[in-house]
């Protein structure tokens, strides 16, 4: 990789300048940071005895060079935890889309909780380089607030995060427009996080947005930013705009530009060179497939592509390079905001899942809507993404329920069975869900670490999901901690 594509700080880190060390130029790292270790060995080198002693060795070693972790419901499935667990086995963890509307909660080895929003979930592992790709949108003040929070808690970010020079900048004005837009929609509001994500992507598509590389041209930055201010002021009566506001914003971003420069890189070139050099890359998706701008429950969706296609467009990685994709699915279903939710539970039943699962948004704190696991939606997500395996999370939350239900099919009001998940929301709002009931289990499974030790009813539940969707469940979450994971 040519060091000219990196910022000065990243270039120095890549060569080990001043440290007496030599690092691979494809994976820039601070001089004090070692590269991700090569563990476990290649599949052929894993003995049967090792697999029996450590199921994770075989399971993780089989993952392809470029793998991904994607949401397979309406978000909040627990993607961050799996990324955090897998990160030490990869050189790079990359975010391909979304912004600070993503909320990934992870825990370090001491059990300390971290709530990440834009920084990839590999940041707690010192040997892993984190990349924010061109498909993401960057609110620079929020980005630095997140970094400062990590640094204050002992997590070094120096030389360990790269931001694509092609990523779009999200301004405070986008957040203001987000709120005005939701207010304008009144009873038909989308239910966004009001973080400005949608308006920023709108600027991108309208082609008047600003990108990270524009911070290197402050002589024209103000003129470009003024176009955004004028556009918002002409569209929304409640949007306040003045020349002094513009001047203040430009001055603020001059300071941001200086601080952000060490993070900026041509990540498209860097990632592709890393692939050629056999570096391992783990892609972390934000939000989930049912919120995809094309495949989700439109218009109650996010503004990017959290499904498999977003990896290619959001990172500049060719489709042929992408291997294993792991779909993360909660043992039940939740969603926030508005939109149809066929298996939603109301009243006391919904409250039981919400309280047991602590279902409140990481980013917003909003209570999540809860319901039974929707197999129709899950099969649809598996088809779109081609998942090689699933990570079933929060299985422990179902402990104590006398009966557990799976929404296995949809019928129209006239009784006609739908063959797939419908794109028409009018149809989706009227579907009648056919449920399959399975017996629950009464024991606490949060301390279980082996699949064979799960209650038979819990095993039957997992295996029934596999049968219905045709994709194996390889990872089972039974608690929030790193170690609360069963490899199947």
Cβ contact 10:265 at 8 Å: yes
120 phi and psi, to 5 degrees? -60, 150
Out of 360-369, 377-386, 477-486, least confident range: 360-369
Any idea which of 19-23, 192-196, 343-347, 457-461 has the lowest mean pLDDT?
Answer: 19-23
In three-state secondary structure terms, 297 is coil
Catalytic residue among 76, 84, 214, 231: 76
**Is the model's pLDDT at 18 over the cut of 50?**
no
* 3-class DSSP assignment, residue 335: strand
Q: Which candidate, 80, 68, 98, 94, places its Cα nearest to that of 293? A: 98
Q: Which residues are annotated as a binding site for Mg(2+)?
A: 76, 103
Catalytic residue chosen out of the listed positions 117, 174, 194, 204: 204
Residue written as tokens 């808690």? 153
Phi, psi at residue 206, to the nearest 5°?
A: -70, -15
Helices within 301-422 (DSSP H only):
309-315, 347-356, 375-385
Q: Say if residue 157's pLDDT is above 90.
A: yes
d(CA 105, CA 155): 15
Mean pLDDT of all residues in 89-101: 93
What ranges do the domains of the chain cover? 168-260, 329-487
Average pLDDT over residues 110-124: 92
Residue 54, SS3?
coil
pLDDT tops 70 at residue 377: yes
Backbone angles phi, psi at 408, to 5 degrees: -95, -20
Q: What is the pLDDT of residue 136?
A: 97
Q: What is the pLDDT of residue 38?
A: 29
Q: Are 340 and 429 in contact (CB under 8 A)?
A: yes
The confidence score (pLDDT) of residue 55 equals: 64
C-alpha–C-alpha distance, residues 237 and 443, integer Å:
57
Give dist(CA 82, CA 5) in Å, integer.
Answer: 31
Model-level pTM? 0.86
Selecting among 84, 91, 104, 330, the annotated active-site residue is: 104
Spatial contact of 92 and 37, defined as CB atoms under 8 Å apart: no
- 38 or 133, greater pLDDT: 133
User: What is the assigned CATH class of domain 329-487?
Assistant: alpha beta
76 a catalytic residue:
yes
Residue set of the binding site:
75-81, 101-105, 193, 207, 287, 302, 362-368, 394-396, 477-479
CATH number of 168-260: 1.10.300.10
The residue-averaged pLDDT of 69-85 equals 95
When pLDDT is cut at 50, 70 and 90, the band that residue 191 belongs to is low
Yes or no: say if 99 and 138 are a contact pair by the CB < 8 Å rule.
yes
pLDDT band for position 45 (cuts 50, 70, 90):
very low
Phi-psi region of 376 (alpha: psi -120 to 50; beta: other; left: phi over 0): alpha
The DSSP-derived string for 133-147 is: -TTBEE-HHHHHHHH
- Specify the pLDDT at position 54: 64
**Is 54 designated active site?**
no
Q: Where are the alpha helices (DSSP H) in 316-415?
A: 347-356, 375-385
Find the mean pLDDT for residues 151-165: 96
| Whole-number pLDDT of residue 340 | 93
pLDDT category of residue 13 using cuts at 50, 70 and 90? very low
Q: What is the pLDDT of residue 363?
A: 65
Q: Say if residue 21's pLDDT is above 90.
A: no
221: left (phi over 0), alpha (psi -120 to 50) or beta: alpha
- For the chain, what percent of residues have pLDDT higher than 70? 86
pLDDT digits (tens, 9 = 90+) for 313-361: 999 999 999 999 999 999 999 998 889 999 999 999 899 999 999 998 7
Binding residues for IMP: 76-79, 101-104, 193, 207, 287, 302, 366
Residue from 218, 204, 222 nearest 166 by CA = 204
The phi, psi pair for 316, rounded to 5°, reads 80, 30
Instruction: Flag whether pLDDT at 111 surpasses 60.
Output: yes
Residue 241 has pLDDT above 90, yes or no: no
Residue whose tokens read 């104590």:
400
Cis check for the bond before 201: say yes or no (omega within 30 of 0): no
Q: How confident is the model at residue 189 (pLDDT cuts 50, 70, 90)?
A: low
Detail the residues annotated as belonging to a binding site for substrate: 362-368
Whole-number pLDDT of residue 291: 96
For residue range 250-280, what is the model confidence (pLDDT) as tens digits?
A: 999 999 999 999 999 999 999 999 999 999 9
Angle at CA of residue 419, ends 417 and 425, nearest 5°: 85
CB-based contact 349:356 (threshold 8 Å)? no
The pLDDT of residue 178: 85
Tokens linked to 205: 């598509």
| 11-20, 123-132, 169-178, 245-254: the lowest-pLDDT one | 11-20
pLDDT of 22 above 60 = no
Our answer to whether residue 104 is catalytic in this structure is: yes
């Amino acid at each position: 990789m040519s060091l000219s594509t990196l910022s000065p700080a990243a270039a120095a880190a890549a060569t080990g300048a001043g440290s007496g060390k030599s690092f691979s130029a494809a994976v820039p790292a601070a001089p004090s940071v070692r590269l991700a270790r090569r563990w476990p060995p290649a599949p052929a080198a894993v003995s049967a005895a090792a697999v029996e002693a450590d199921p994770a060795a075989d399971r993780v070693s089989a993952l392809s060079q470029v793998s991904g972790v994607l949401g397979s419901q309406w978000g909040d499935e627990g993607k961050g935890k799996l990324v955090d667990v897998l990160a030490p086995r990869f050189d790079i963890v990359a975010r391909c889309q979304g912004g600070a509307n993503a909320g990934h909660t992870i825990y370090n080895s001491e059990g300390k909780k971290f709530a990440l929003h834009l920084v990839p979930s590999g940041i707690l592992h010192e040997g892993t380089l984190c990349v924010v790709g061109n498909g993401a949108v960057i609110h620079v003040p929020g980005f630095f607030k997140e970094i400062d929070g990590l640094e204050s808690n002992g997590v070094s970010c120096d030389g360990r995060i790269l931001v694509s020079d092609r990523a779009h900048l999200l301004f405070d004005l986008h957040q203001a427009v987000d709120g005005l837009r939701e207010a304008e929609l009144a009873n038909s509001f989308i239910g966004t996080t009001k973080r400005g994500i949608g308006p920023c992507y709108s600027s991108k598509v309208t082609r008047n947005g600003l990108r990270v590389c524009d911070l290197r041209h402050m002589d024209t930055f103000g003129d470009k930013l003024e176009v955004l201010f004028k556009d918002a002021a002409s569209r929304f009566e409640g949007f306040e705009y003045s020349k002094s506001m513009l001047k203040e914003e430009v001055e603020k971003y001059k300071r941001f530009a200086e601080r952000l420069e060490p993070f900026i890189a041509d990540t498209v070139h860097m990632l592709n060179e890393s692939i050629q050099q056999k570096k391992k890359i783990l892609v972390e998706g934000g939000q989930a497939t049912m919120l995809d701008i094309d495949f989700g429950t439109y218009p109650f969706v996010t503004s990017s592509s959290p499904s498999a296609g977003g990896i290619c467009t959001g990172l500049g990685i060719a489709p042929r390079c992408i291997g294993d994709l792991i779909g993360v699915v909660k043992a039940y279903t939740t969603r926030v905001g508005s939109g149809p939710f066929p298996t939603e539970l109301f009243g006391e039943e919904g409250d039981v899942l919400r309280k047991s699962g602590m279902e409140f948004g990481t980013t917003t704190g909003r209570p999540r809507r809860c319901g039974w696991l929707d197999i129709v939606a899950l099969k649809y997500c598996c088809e779109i993404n081609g998942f090689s395996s699933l990570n079933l999370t929060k299985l422990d939350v179902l402990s104590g329920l006398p009966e557990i239900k799976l929404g296995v099919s949809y019928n129209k009001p006239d009784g006609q069975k739908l063959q797939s998940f419908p794109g028409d929301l009018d149809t989706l709002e009227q579907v009648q869900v056919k449920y399959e009931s399975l017996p629950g289990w009464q024991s606490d499974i949060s301390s279980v670490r082996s699949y064979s030790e799960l209650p038979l009813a819990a095993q039957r539940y997992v295996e029934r999901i596999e049968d219905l969707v045709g994709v194996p469940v390889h990872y089972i979450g039974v608690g929030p901690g790193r170690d609360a994971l069963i490899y199947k």
